[in-house]
Chain A
């Protein structure tokens, strides 16, 4: 597992968010170190995806602070946060349906924070697509892709942004036993190359085989954060999420 620095890249402090009566972030506070891989688990409706929305700016905060590289993100739009180096995938893919896979990914490489010329943007797009395993679909309209390939497209587009932090929202669901290790390898490689990862996933054994730390949220509250094996043994985490008969199986 790659080691990471002690420098805080992202600090989430006392963030609150509610949708009407539903509290989805209730004073969540945590830091993410540069180069770290952090896993997020929690029951359905816990507020996991919303947390990513708050970090990348798709949803405004009710209160609290999100600090990235010592700078507050609170007033920045999603595009500006992207330019600072934050990329994400969507749990429910959001392809540009009438654009080809290549064009979809080209959007990511063209409008990222780093200035690239058209040739470089094309090369980054081609490489990201190959990496995400979509080589067979360069010229396919994204709206024609199956769900699994749409998830791959999410990953390819995010990779094309050449981010410092990659926010992943359930990209492993539905992969076969032979496909899953490939995805894990991609994410490990990215992390090893210095990209900070924040990854929501219900496939716990896959998640803990990659991340340095694990965090559990439920009902908008941070239940536990720390070493994966410790979090998985936490009694509240077992009660609220895992269930008493849970065992970390597979590759963990």
Chain B
């Protein structure tokens, strides 16, 4: 008996969704024509949060690299943007792309430093690196020292045009990060990372070079963090060392990823959207805001340990075509 099998990626659902996503992106692209400025600003914030959550999840949820120092690369991206756009006089959009790349370039040598550490030491080590980079930046006069630096590149532009331009940059950034994430998870690197996520020892035994794959993901997500940092600088029109290198970014990223669902592509997106609404609604309540956030985190983690997405999908389906499916195509009776 000979059986023939076909190997495909994704489900029927995954065939429809790209159409919906494309429609969504197009709708979002024309929004500035119809949407009041404050809403555009809010969307930019939400896009940045989604990028951050997605990147932190690739690192921690798939790579197993629980870092609390990725604000290092957010900061590098933000400062690189201001430096390239204002000091070097580059087009700010080109500067944004370069800032992302520069952040990735910094990550490569730094990975050799932090990868000597593991587990909790790795987490603390990344934080220390972020603090050291901050202390270094504070010393640099061209970057404004301890009081920070303003972004002047948009000063010739009217408010409406500027906000729309930033909105489109953020939209392009989130589109590219999500698309790259999906392509990454469909690639060999994605297969390796998923295996590392589930069992690091078994992955190594099966020939997955755990260290090299982790380094690759560490550098790649740093590009994303740098991009987010650049966007933050653009939307705030100002970079301050204590804010941009703040460990709060790590706390927020952990919150979004854990409540959304660690180790899935969808989870962090949901987590980021939920977090966005929570902070938008609750930020005026002061301490209550933090208490409610904390209680909610605890509730979700104990009631649905796999996060909101795990609870919704019950591991039965995914929005993106990363899963493999084997189906039987023919069956010949015989010897």
Contact = CB atoms under 8 A, between A and B. Distances in A.
B199 A111 contact: no
Given A98-B198, A102-B7, A138-B5, A78 B205 contact: yes
B157 interface: no
B190 to A, nearest CB: 11
A97 B203 CA distance: 12
B324 A111 contact: no
A139 B323 CA distance: 9
Interface string B195-223: 10111011111111111000000000000
Contacts of B263: 98
Contacts of A88: 205
A79 B210 contact: yes
Interface residues of B, number: 28
Contact of B194 (A82, A96, A161): A96
B10 to A, nearest CB: 12
A94 B201 CA distance: 8
Interface string A93-105: 0111111101100
A95 B204 CA distance: 13
Contacts of A56: 205
Interface in A204-250: none
B3 A111 contact: no
A111 B188 CA distance: 9
A107 interface: yes
Interface in A43-61: 56, 58
A108 B199 CA distance: 13
A112 to B, nearest CB: 5
B326 interface: yes
B144 to A, nearest CB: 45
Contact of A107 (B191, B210, B211): B191
A103 B186 CA distance: 12
A138 B326 contact: yes
Interface in B1-32: 3, 5, 7
Contact of B199 (A79, A80, A82, A94): A94
Given A95-B199, A99-B198, A110-B188, A126 B207 contact: no
B207 A139 contact: no
A139 to B, nearest CB: 6
Contact of B207 (A82, A94, A122): A82
Given A102-B324, A102-B326, A106-B324, A96 B198 contact: yes
Contact of A126 (B5, B195, B203): B5
B253 interface: no
B60 interface: no
Given A96-B194, A98-B263, A135-B3, A126 B326 contact: yes
Contacts of B206: 79, 82, 87, 107-108, 111-112, 157, 161
B314 to A, nearest CB: 11
Given A102-B326, A141-B315, A79 B208 contact: yes
A135 B4 CA distance: 11
Nearest to B198: A96
B198 A139 contact: no
B192 interface: yes
A111 B7 contact: no
Contacts of A90: 202, 205
Nearest to A111: B207
Contact of B198 (A97, A102, A138, A161): A97
Given A79-B207, A106-B191, A96 B315 contact: no
Contacts of B325: 139
A83 interface: yes
B324 A103 contact: yes
A116 to B, nearest CB: 11
Nearest to A96: B198
- Listed residue (A56, A106, A111) with the most chain B CB atoms within 10 angstroms of its CB: A111
B59 to A, nearest CB: 18
A94 B5 CA distance: 26
Nearest to A98: B198
Contact of A100 (B197, B203, B211, B323): B323
A87 B207 CA distance: 9
Given A79-B204, A83-B207, A111 B323 contact: no
A98 B263 CA distance: 10
Contacts of A78: 201, 204-205
Contacts of B201: 58, 78, 94
Nearest to B264: A98
A132 to B, nearest CB: 14
B207 A161 contact: yes
Contacts of B208: 79, 107, 111
24 contacts: A58-B205, A77-B204, A79-B204, A79-B207, A80-B209, A82-B204, A82-B205, A87-B205, A94-B201, A96-B194, A96-B195, A96-B198, A98-B198, A102-B324, A103-B191, A103-B194, A107-B191, A108-B207, A110-B191, A112-B207, A122-B7, A126-B7, A126-B326, A161-B207
Interface of B: 3, 5, 7, 188, 191-192, 194-195, 197-199, 201-211, 263, 315, 323-326
Given A103-B191, A110-B191, 13 more contacts: A58-B205, A79-B205, A79-B206, A79-B207, A79-B208, A94-B201, A95-B198, A95-B202, A103-B324, A111-B206, A111-B207, A111-B208, A130-B3
- Shortest 4 CB-CB distances between A and B: which pairs? A111-B207, A96-B198, A138-B326, A82-B207
